[in-house]
Amino acid sequence: MIDGINQININSKIGLDFYNCLKAVLRQDPDIIMVGEIRELDTARIALRAAITGHLVLSTIHTYDAPSAILRFVDMGVEPYLVSCALKGIIAQRLVRKICPYCRVEYTATDYEKKILEIDNKEDILLSKGMGCRKCNNSGYIGRIGVFEIVEVDKDIRNMIIKNHNIDILRDLCINKGMKTLKNSCRELVLSRITTVAEMVKVISNLD
């Protein structure tokens, strides 16, 4: 239990779903609202409307990447102007395994790995991997680290939400505004020898 935080468990069997719960919570005028997951139109609308009336609303939504969250709301049936006014920021996250520090070894990247990392074939580059030991149960990895993609919704992105629902155009705009993609975030971890190309492939294979 954390002081100042009240949690309500959803129970659809008695009519206590996300929508009805949110309506009841808003009557108490909380400063911050955390919605476990937005899955349907009614919950999305009331959460976004709560956001534009001065509440900080935190939630999760299942999407392909950070910019896709915007179109997910529109696809649910939420009016683009409401999405544009309410959204302040979006974070997409993946987890990758970290190389075991006890059996870490260096090696020269293969041509295949250079292609994945978008590095010139003629360039020699050292990467790391875990050989497997008792500390890591012979997996070569210990622990995990987050890979993030962050979109800060500014005036240009808001205008784009209202005018154009093309995900490729929206994603390009987010990148031009400084968004580091999941792929590039993971690439940096590989080049920093924190994780491996194999872990990077798992991330980007879900993005292709």
Backbone angles phi, psi at 110, to 5 degrees: -80, 170
Mean pLDDT of the chain: 90
pLDDT at residue 206, as a whole number: 66
pLDDT at residue 207, as a whole number: 62
> How would DSSP label each residue in 16-38?
B-HHHHHHHHHTT--SEEEES--
pLDDT at residue 73, as a whole number: 93
pLDDT in tens, 31-52: 888 888 898 898 899 889 889 9
Give residue 16's identity as a one-letter amino acid code.
L
At residue 89 the predicted structure's pLDDT band, cuts being 50, 70 and 90, is very high
**3-state class of 125 per DSSP?**
coil
Backbone angles phi, psi at 137, to 5 degrees: 55, 35
